[in-house]
Amino acid sequence: MRTVFVTGVLIALCHPAAFGQHDHDDEHGHADLEVGKTATNQIAVEFDFDDAFEVPPVDGPLLFGCALDDPGFMTLDEDEPDEGLFMLPNGTEIAFELVSIDPGLVIYTPGFGDTIDTPGETFVIGTVPFDVHPTWHIDSMDAAWDPDGTYSFTFRLFDPSGTCDPTGDLTATVVCAEPGACCLPDGECEDGEFEEACEDEGGEFLGEGSTCSADACEVPGACCLPDGECEFEHEDHCADEGGVFMGENVPCTPSTCAAAEVEPVPTVSTSGMMLLCVLLVAGLMIAGNRRVKA
């Protein structure tokens, strides 16, 4: 595998697939795997494969363990020439082939039409344009079940007609993850967020299984900083910056910090700096004379 940087975005070219971070996040915070092609007509998948698919617990009646139908596969909706990625022509058929899979992990085709859990099995994702969501299932009924484990599978995408070259082998991971409460930067609390999605929004994740309560999240307010500026932030952060917190939900206005008793930032005047320099030089001279006499 070779790695190149293109306009500040890391693109990994796994012969011949390219993938990286994109912004199409669903309600669970997962970015869909976007399918396009390179300039040399090779199928490309844009996704950050360092991020695991987080799937929540399920308890029947059909599935047990952890399962979710996100992220899915969708077609790239615009050309990205700076990253070497381009839209596939409408009508192009794209298929999925399983290369390897960990025991305990099962993939269901959309609508639960087929089970994909044996290397070599394939299914047609769809014809461009598509937005298709298989179900990723960690089966608690399997002997390999580990609620804290990481399950991996390797796959490739190909064009059955042979018009486009297939991707190289791509490996993704799936983990059980229970959502919880997320404290957002504006002080609001949202239930049912996954940790990664919460942090992507600049929030603080309160833990798996946690729920929002009336006092779950600290409410931000006006913070008067030592330089006289006012910023809308949380009390703890304000204190860390040496500011004065003016109260929850207090807005920053031109007069908010006028009466705030902010500890001034220590400064040294020009004359004071000169005096310090003189004293330093004198001290060095005295020390030098003492050494000569000795």
Residue 190: which domain range? 179-217
Say yes or no: 205 and 229 in one domain: no
Quick check: 218 and 183 in contact, CB under 8 A? yes
Say yes or no: 85 and 136 in one domain: yes
- Between the two ends of the chain, the Cα-to-Cα distance in Å is 67
Judge whether 168 lies within some domain.
yes
Judge whether 116 lies within some domain.
yes
Using CB atoms within 10 A of its CB, is residue 282 exposed (0-12), middle (13-18) or buried (19+)? Answer: exposed
Say yes or no: 157 and 206 in one domain: no
What pLDDT shows up at residue 96?
98
Nearest CA to 138 out of 162, 172, 161 is that of 172
Say yes or no: 30 and 48 in one domain: yes
Judge whether 87 lies within some domain.
yes
Say yes or no: 74 and 100 in one domain: yes
pTM of the predicted model as reported, rounded to 2 decimal places: 0.62
For residue 210, count other CB atoms closer than 10 A to its CB: 17
Locate 154 and state its tokens.
């390797």
Judge whether 273 lies within some domain.
no
pLDDT mean across residues, the chain: 83
Pairwise CA distance, residues 42 & 254, whole Å: 57
Say yes or no: 129 and 84 in one domain: yes
Tens-digit pLDDT profile for residues 165-195 = 999 999 999 999 888 999 988 788 999 888 8
What pLDDT shows up at residue 12?
30
Say yes or no: 171 and 186 in one domain: no
Judge whether 281 lies within some domain.
no
Tens-digit pLDDT profile for residues 42-101 = 999 999 999 899 998 998 899 999 999 999 999 999 999 999 999 999 999 999 999 999
Tens-digit pLDDT profile for residues 193-241 = 888 778 888 888 898 889 998 888 888 889 999 998 999 888 888 988 9
Quick check: 294 and 278 in contact, CB under 8 A? no
Quick check: 222 and 205 in contact, CB under 8 A? no
Task: Give the total number of structural domains in the chain.
Answer: 3
Say yes or no: 194 and 168 in one domain: no
